[in-house]
Amino acid sequence: MQITKNLKVKEEVYTEKLDNGLTVMIIPKRKVQKKYIIWGTKYGSNDNKFIAPGETNITEVPKGVAHFLEHKMFEQENGTNSLDVLSSLGVEANAYTTNDHTAYLYECTDNFYEALDEFMDYIQHPYFTDENVEKEKGIIGQEIMMYDDYPEWKVYLNTLEAMYHNNPIKLDITGTIETIDKIDKEILYKCYNTFYNPSNMAIVICGDFVPEEILEEIKKRLIDKKSNGKIQRIYEKEPKEIVKEKIEQKMEVSRPLCTIGIKDCNIENSFSSSEEIVKRHLSIEILLNILIGESSNLYKKLYQQGNISNMPSISYEFSNNYAHILISMQANEPEKIYEELKKEIKKQKEETIKEEEFNRIKKMIYGEYVKEYNDVTEIARMFLSDYFKGINTFDYLEQIGSINLNYVNQILKEVFDETKMCLSIIRN
């Protein structure tokens, strides 16, 4: 096993790539009661068009298959539901689908190995029939309708709709009523056999484990399945321009909701190495806190004016073929905040960021990253998500020290481009 250590947080990760291509990462946490395991596949809602290993023809599936597949994995041929079985053992089990990966997980203090039997069994033995697929369409259809009535979700999706022309990131992870109606068991088996191959998957385990012992337990429960080779994912070319600057929708809200989006168009040129990805991500976090974070002049001004009452949610979302900034909040006058942010960006570009403020924010963000290592759940999720992006999670702690003010000013000019900004509003 390869051992990677980080002295800053006194953590280490043991990594083994098995003969079948599966990557297993073990992060020991001595004397911690909670145990956590997450098993993910690099298969998300964006992967609707691909060439499977050993094939030459393009396969295109309806939107929402990755999420549909996640739902169906728990139903077993013997009539049981694996979520119920895991719950009866006293473990908390769940699953989720993102734009670039799907993950199955559980956490517990007791019965870890009994749960591991069920966990590894259902993920390796899918069971799809015409009847259970049709039944699931009704369940997921209700979920889609529920999210359609959820203003916080719509303001987010509308922002992506305003930013992206062709990229599937703008489509709801669940798909639509129309697209899921086209899903059948053959499509599910095709996508399972393509993407749920060990060579496209990773397991992360965090808790009080002896790495060599837990690795043997994982190996014992793996079925004999060989690596199937590389999957060729196909994405349409995305223009650098945004679709529209403003998008507005009326829903029942007590106060307007808004999200400001900034499309990062230089992602392909900038992501030449994992270290560069991490530096860019960290720099954007620093900049967002300087521009509109809790200690920023703009936030204080908007708060005193009564335009906002809570700290905006700020994030940088990215994967292999998309990247964007999102700033979300409740606001009395969304357009005013949008214009004020533009002015603040322009001002920081002209005056350049003050060294003292830069260093203060950098220390604060470093502290937040260190805190995440207190929780086995956070650690495991970080390592899985970053692995599928080609990142070593420890790099965030290593690279932050190498970021200087010149680099951050360069990212400010490159990414915070007024022509790539858009505003999504939900009003009553």
Cβ neighbour number for residue 216 with a 10 Å cutoff? 10
Is residue 411 exposed (0-12), middle (13-18) or buried (19+ Cβ within 10 Å)? buried
Is residue 38 exposed (0-12), middle (13-18) or buried (19+ Cβ within 10 Å)? buried
Phi-psi region of 46 (alpha: psi -120 to 50; beta: other; left: phi over 0): alpha
Cβ neighbour number for residue 3 with a 10 Å cutoff? 10
Instruction: Name every residue whose Cβ is closer than 8 Å to that of residue 246 and which is 6 or more positions away in sequence.
Output: 162, 422, 423, 424, 425
Residue 70 annotated as catalytic: yes
What are the structure tokens assigned to 259, written together?
A: 């999200």
Half-sphere exposure of 124 (CA within 13 A, CB side): 16
Residue environment code for 143-152, b if the CB has 16+ CB neighbours within 10 A, otherwise e = ebeeeeeebe
Provide the pairing of β-strand 35-41 with 102-108: antiparallel
Which one from 11, 70, 118, 136 is the annotated catalytic residue? 70
- Is residue 107 within 8 A of residue 376, CB to CB? The reply is yes
- Is residue 366 within 8 A of residue 285, CB to CB? The reply is no
Phi-psi region of 43 (alpha: psi -120 to 50; beta: other; left: phi over 0): beta
3-state class of 347 per DSSP? helix
Q: Which amino acid is at 425?
A: I
Instruction: Name every residue whose Cβ is closer than 8 Å to that of residue 305 and which is 6 or more positions away in sequence.
Output: none
Phi-psi region of 352 (alpha: psi -120 to 50; beta: other; left: phi over 0): left
- What are the distances in angstroms from CA 110 to CA 67, 92, 96, 107, 115? 29, 11, 23, 9, 9
Q: d(Cα 263, Cα 241) in Å, to the nearest integer?
A: 8
Say which residue the tokens 């096993």 belong to: 1
- Residues with active-site annotation: 70
